[in-house]
Amino acid sequence: MRGVPFLLFSWFLFGPSLLLAERATYIVYLDKTFMPKIFATHQNWHSSIIDTIKIEAPTTQNSHHPVPNLLYSYDNVLHGFSVVLSKDEFEALKKSPGFLSAYKDRPVEAHTTHSSKFPNLNPASGLWPASGFGQDVIIGVLDSGVWPESASFRDDGLSEIPKKWKGICKPGTKFNSSLCNRKLIGANYFNKGLLASDSTVKISINSARDTDGHGTHVASIAAGSFYKGASYFGYAPGTARGMAPRARIAVYKFSFEEGTVTSDLIAAMDQAVADGVDILTISYGWTNIPLYEDSIAIASFGAMMKGVLVSASAGNSGPEMGTLNNGVPWIFTVAALKTIIKDLRVLYNESISPCDSFDPSSPIPNARRSIIICYSTAVDVEDQMAAISESSFGGAIYISDYPDVLRANFFPNPGVVISTKEGKQVIDYASKSVRPTASISFQETHIDVKPAPVVSSFSSRGPSRSYLRVAKPDIVAPGMLLLAAWPSNVSAAVIGVNTFLDSDYRLLSGTSMATPHIAGIAAMLKGAHPDWSPSAIRSAMMTTANPLDNTDKPIKTTDYFITRDATSLDMGAGLVDPNRAVDPGLIYDATPQDFVNLLCSMNLTEKQFKTIARSSAKHNCSNPSNYMNYPSFIALFNPNEDYNWLEQKFRRTVTNVGPGAAKYKAKVTAPKNSTISIYPQTLVFEKKNQKQDYTLTIRYKGIADDQAQSGSIIWVEENGHHTVRSPIVVAPALDAWT
């Protein structure tokens, strides 16, 4: 999902001509084993298929029956193409040899100076120096483009571009190839699907240049270079830097101001893998899409098969359970938390107004020095702020207990947000005093607030409807008011009614902001351990994540004003800890064949299976298995059934990636109303890279009014410093998830 401008956006396409209303864009999946040997390339085969389905129709430009229009040929993350067809042409296509499935193109929902301090990255020790700050690892950013002039994309001190890179810096509107460098090594853009969807669409900036801001922000969080003096109008001042400040960035723009569609997204993913990226970060997705229709899940499977890790956002539809996007086992699913940057005055309050202070020199026209007090909810606070901007009030005090009320940094007038408890004090003072007075001060950033971090209420919750046997999300990273690069020609703030302000850096919120944190850290782990698979990298980050806040208590979440301990359905394994992830001790690895076996065990038709796994010719499906060597555990029960105890067994394999021989003992914390047994309880490794199996059995009792309950298994190394933690969750399975 995306954090700009802090509302959930869907792109809808309006006004297609009557001609296009009778036609549609389809994403077509093919079995490549049917490709005749006569064709030298897959593009030749795809063009031949299109030629065979042409309905008798004139070929002139004035024709009311245009021929099928091939948009993209895909061959890296999936095999097939996207094409504009009539209904009759589509029916003819379905009879083509090798046809598996096809789905109409659809709109895609788009889901840091101080953020880097939370993972405790240190230039002298830990993951940064171990990975060379991500040197030569390539992160592909799938988003709204890039503002190449930003200081976050300078290439000072970087070596030559890695020889494995095969991508381009594509010129276009207000963008030439000289804008790429040794940091921003590639820029490409894809909008054929958008243009085909609506004949009235005119792309204003037909290039990789970012006119939205979201892509620039995400790219700089993942791998922005060091830049001193960054701030958002005085807030969060310091040195801006991405998670992997020496990693290379390749930008693939598929999201335009005019719209965002699936066919362009898949084209971007397909090209990124062909170009040689190591990591992909994507902050877009859908909710409630079947696995075999979820193009991001399908393309991510193809990327995983080629060794590319895909980091994707969980979405911004929380805090209800089962709202998670991108929840398949082969995607690294990222939730968001707030690290809490606050203004602190006499009362606990929050404000991110770009004003220096509340005084007569305020630039707001006709501002009076009166302050209005407003009761606010999550829904109406921004409407209140906008209304006050159009009024004669100089400032406001907003009373709200909504935990993410400042998820947006829309603060057009001086104002602060306080809790209802503190609001009673303010109202009492204002109503009883003869001449009540108040003052508001700004630009004071505090990063030592306790308790912190806290899971953001907007962050989507698991379990994943796509696959219920894996606990999702996987991990949580900072996603609330993150400072990162911003285009200089896109407004960063507004004061009053129509005074717009620019800034080279901006604070944004969303799981969009959390996802590139994980992509950047994954890039550094890839740099430190080039032989690790995507599953190994994910395991290292999950088993070393911290489930505790800065008061050494379980990380909390506030859902509809109720504060409770977060479960792994809220935060995954916990807050990422990069310095521990570089040396995790044990990992839960998985091979591409393991994921194929998983698909084999699902209730998929042959064509649905091949849609995801591509041609089955190279894959062995003789051993279907729902076994997944995942670094977490989930057991679901039906709260409506009458039973006493249920039992579920899991098998796992861990690999010793420590320096040599090691011995580990199990330490178990069972979820409420559950018992956990482990066999064996001790794992002995004689050498590095040795594997050992164990089984974990959960016996649990479903209680109708129970919510999700968390526990864990921690493998503790004897006479060593490694602890390897896996979360366990027991939760009610709603009917919609079955």
Residue position matching structure tokens 């980050």: 541
Q: Which amino acid is at 231?
A: S
How far, CA to CA in Å, does 249 sit from each of 221, 242, 341, 526, 571? 11, 11, 28, 15, 27
How far, CA to CA in Å, does 54 sit from each of 20, 32, 45, 118, 249? 17, 21, 15, 58, 41
Q: How many residues does the chain have?
A: 738
Residue position matching structure tokens 């420590």: 658
> Catalytic site residue 512?
yes
Q: Which amino acid is at 378?
A: A
Written as six digits, the tokens of 128 are: 């940064």
**How many other CB atoms are there within 10 angstroms of residue 177's CB atom?**
11
SS3 at position 41:
coil
Residue 371's closest CA among 420, 442, 421, 427? 427
SS3 at position 663:
strand
Beta carbons within 8 Å of 683's beta carbon, 6+ residues apart = 654, 663, 664, 665, 666, 692, 694, 715
Q: Is the peptide bond before 319 cis (omega within 30 degrees of 0)?
A: yes
Q: How far is CA 583 from the centre of its chain?
A: 25
Beta carbons within 8 Å of 5's beta carbon, 6+ residues apart = 408, 410
Q: Give the pairing of strands 309-313 and 505-508.
A: unpaired
Residue 264's closest CA among 22, 74, 14? 74
Residue 631 · residue 543 · CB < 8 Å: yes
CA distance 154 to 182: 8
Written as six digits, the tokens of 705 are: 């009014």
> To 5 degrees, how large is the angle CA 73–CA 74–CA 76?
150
> Catalytic site residue 419?
no
Residue 148 · residue 253 · CB < 8 Å: no
Q: Give the pairing of strands 279-282 and 309-313.
A: parallel
Q: Could you give the dihedral angle defined by the CA atoms of residues 51, 57, 61 and 67, in that order, rounded to the nearest 10 degrees?
A: -30
Beta strands in 523-656 (DSSP E): 556-559, 562-565, 586-587, 633-637, 646-656
> Catalytic site residue 143?
yes
CA distance 273 to 444: 44
Indicate left, alpha or beta for 421 from its phi (over 0: left) and psi (-120 to 50: alpha): alpha
Q: Give the pairing of strands 235-240 and 227-232.
A: antiparallel
Read off φ and ψ for residue 514, nearest 5 degrees.
-75, -40
Q: Is the peptide bond before 451 cis (omega within 30 degrees of 0)?
A: yes
Catalytic residue among 111, 214, 217, 517: 214
SS3 at position 91:
helix
Catalytic residue among 31, 75, 136, 143: 143
Catalytic residue among 131, 144, 512, 568: 512
Q: Is the peptide bond before 680 cis (omega within 30 degrees of 0)?
A: yes
CA distance 559 to 638: 23
> To 5 degrees, how large is the angle CA 493–CA 505–CA 215?
95
Q: How far is CA 554 from the centre of its chain?
A: 23
State the distance between the two ends of the chain, measured CA to CA, in whole angstroms: 25
DSSP type of residue 274: H
Q: Which residues are tagged catalytic?
A: 143, 214, 512
